[in-house]
């Protein structure tokens, strides 16, 4: 696919076809998203956005702008830098729906710093705008950011309610891939509510529905399933699946997902009595949260040291 995109890029460059170039960079960006290689995706969508604007292709420009917000939240850009960049995109954005979506993304970034009053206000502004425009798909996707805010603030019940709605809408629309991604987030919220069996069932079902190359979902369902297996007392299986999650995450630059997978493995290791490795894995997770600037994630993990979840 990358080779084909390179050939297409040369062809459209030769023709001076701005719309063709925008679509080439879109394709590269979506490859990066599926693989959780957010830095390359961000570069691709920045280029796609420029070419689409030159071509006067409003829809393509809007899609590229929306994807940039995912890249800033989920990629390796430090939270402080991501907020500055996100605010710039929102301020200059020509499309109200995209700006509304960006506000939810900014809300999740502020939540990582512990600025919960600001993050809640941004998420609410986003909801009002997207509902007013009737943009259900963007509202569903923005729910992922809203749920992040709730989870980081310790309001797992609010996160689960929002994600349940988004999951149901995605299913009704026939968007199985999107539903699977939402499903693993829902499973995380259910786990935080101590609904462990339901969380495990939801995670495993989401993993089964996800595409094999949907790296984020493949990581997350394994990490959650590993913790469930540890609670069931099947330590051998729990360690195997939790290590798989970490191994998959290592090929990505999604710092939060890598940290979460390591933290989940640390839980399993502690349950298995492997305390020395548990400490190493926890420290690795803390370092990744610090690299991202996720202050709340880092603090939560530090406060959980030496305690079962």
Which pLDDT value is given to residue 16? 57
pLDDT band for position 18 (cuts 50, 70, 90)? confident
As a whole number, mean pLDDT of residues 288-298 equals 98
CB 29 within 8 A of CB 57: no
pLDDT at 307 over 90: no
- Over residues 240-244, the mean pLDDT reads 98
Tens-place pLDDT, residues 202-229: 999 999 999 989 999 999 999 999 999 9
Average the pLDDT over 184-210 and give the result: 97
The yes-or-no verdict on residue 8 having pLDDT over 80 is: no
Determine which of 12-21, 52-61, 140-149, 203-212 has the lowest per-residue pLDDT on average: 12-21
According to DSSP, residue 129 is labeled H
Residue 306 has pLDDT above 50, yes or no: no
Three-state DSSP state, 60: helix
- Residue 76 reports pLDDT greater than 70: yes
User: Nearest CA to 210 among 197, 219, 199, 200?
Assistant: 219
Distance of CA 186 to the CA centre of its chain: 13
Q: Which range among 19-33, 125-139, 242-256 shows the weakest confidence by mean pLDDT?
A: 19-33
Q: DSSP readout, 67-116?
A: HHHHHHHHSSS-HHHHHHHHHHHHHH-S-HHHHHHHHHHHHHHHHHTT-H
What is the CB-side half-sphere exposure of residue 89 using CA atoms within 13 A? 33
Q: Which residue has the higher pLDDT, 14 or 64?
A: 64
pTM over 0.75: yes
The closest alpha carbon to 70, from 16, 97, 33, belongs to 33
Residue 3 clears pLDDT 90, i.e. is over it: no
Radius of gyration of the chain (CA): 19
63, 257, 108, 297 alpha-carbon torsion, rounded to 10°: -170
């Amino acid at each position: 696919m990358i080779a084909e995109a390179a050939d297409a890029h040369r062809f459209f460059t030769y023709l001076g076809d701005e719309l063709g170039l925008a679509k080439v960079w879109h394709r590269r960006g979506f490859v990066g998203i599926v693989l959780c290689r957010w830095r390359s995706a961000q570069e691709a969508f920045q280029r796609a956005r420029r070419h689409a604007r030159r071509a006067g292709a409003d829809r393509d420009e809007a899609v590229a702008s929306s994807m940039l917000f995912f890249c800033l939240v989920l990629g390796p850009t430090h939270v402080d830098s991501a907020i500055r960049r996100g605010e710039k995109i929102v301020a200059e954005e020509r499309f109200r729906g995209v700006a509304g979506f960006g506000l939810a993304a900014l809300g999740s970034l502020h939540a990582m710093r512990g600025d919960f009053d600001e993050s809640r206000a941004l998420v609410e502004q986003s909801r009002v705008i997207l509902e007013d425009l009737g943009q259900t798909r963007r509202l569903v996707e923005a729910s992922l950011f809203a749920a992040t805010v709730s989870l980081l603030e310790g309001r797992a019940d609010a996160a689960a309610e929002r994600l349940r709605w988004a999951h149901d809408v995605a299913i009704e629309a026939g968007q199985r891939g999107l539903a699977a991604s939402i499903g693993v987030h829902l499973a995380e919220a259910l786990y935080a509510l101590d609904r462990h069996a339901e969380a495990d069932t939801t995670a495993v079902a989401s993993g089964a529905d996800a595409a094999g190359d949907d790296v984020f979902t493949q990581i997350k369902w394994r990490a959650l399933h590993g913790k469930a297996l540890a609670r069931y007392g099947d330590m051998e299986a729990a360690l195997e699946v939790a290590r798989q999650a970490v191994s998959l995450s290592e090929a990505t630059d999604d710092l939060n997902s890598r940290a979460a997978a390591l933290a989940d493995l640390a839980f399993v290791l502690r349950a298995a009595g492997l305390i020395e490795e548990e400490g190493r894995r926890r420290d690795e997770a803390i370092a990744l949260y610090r690299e991202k600037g996720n202050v709340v994630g880092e603090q939560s993990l530090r406060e959980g040291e030496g305690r079962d979840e």
